[in-house]
Amino acid sequence: VIILASAFAILGEVYGDLLRAAGATERLMELLGTQSPITSPQKPVLSPMPAAGSAIQFEAVTFHYPSRPDTPALAGFSLDIHPGQTVAIVGPSGAGKSTVFQLLLRFYDPQSGNIVLYGTNTRELSLEALRQRIGIVPQDAVIFSSSALENIRYGRPDATDEEVKAAAHAAFAHEFISDLPQGYDTFLGERGLRLSGGQRQRIAIARAMLKNPPLLLLDEATSALDAESERMVQAALESAMRDRTTLVVAHRLATVQKADRILVLDHGQLVEQGTHAELVALGGIYAGLAALQFNV
Give the interface with ligand ATP as residue ranges (CB under 6 A).
Answer: 65, 67-68, 71, 73, 91, 93-99
Q: What are phi and psi of 90, to 5 degrees?
A: -130, 165
Burial class (CB in 10 A: 0-12, 13-18, 19+), 3: exposed
Q: How many CA atoms lie within 13 A of 204 on its CB side?
A: 29
CB of 71 to ligand ATP, least distance (A): 6
Q: Pick between residue 188 and residue 221 the one whose CB is nearest to ligand ATP.
A: 221
In 3D space, the residue among 100, 64, 59 whose CA is nearest the CA of residue 215 turns out to be 100
With beta carbons less than 8 A apart as the criterion, state whether 285 and 273 touch: no
Which pairing describes strands 215-219 and 245-249: parallel, antiparallel, or unpaired?
Answer: parallel
CB of 91 to ligand ATP, least distance (A): 5
CB of 249 to ligand ATP, least distance (A): 7
With beta carbons less than 8 A apart as the criterion, state whether 57 and 116 touch: yes
With beta carbons less than 8 A apart as the criterion, state whether 31 and 67 touch: no
CB of 49 to ligand ATP, least distance (A): 27
Query: What are the beta bridge partners of residue 263?
Result: 89, 273
Between the CA of residue 51 and those of 34, 82, 87, 263, what are the distances in Å? 40, 9, 18, 24
CB of 56 to ligand ATP, least distance (A): 17
Q: Pick between residue 8 and residue 65 the one whose CB is nearest to ligand ATP.
A: 65
Q: Pick between residue 75 and residue 241 the one whose CB is nearest to ligand ATP.
A: 75
Q: Pick between residue 53 and residue 65 the one whose CB is nearest to ligand ATP.
A: 65
CB of 111 to ligand ATP, least distance (A): 13
Q: How many CA atoms lie within 13 A of 166 on its CB side?
A: 10
Q: Pick between residue 91 and residue 213 the one whose CB is nearest to ligand ATP.
A: 91
Q: Pick between residue 97 and residue 131 the one whose CB is nearest to ligand ATP.
A: 97
CB of 70 to ligand ATP, least distance (A): 11
With beta carbons less than 8 A apart as the criterion, state whether 56 and 216 touch: no
Q: Pick between residue 70 and residue 179 the one whose CB is nearest to ligand ATP.
A: 70
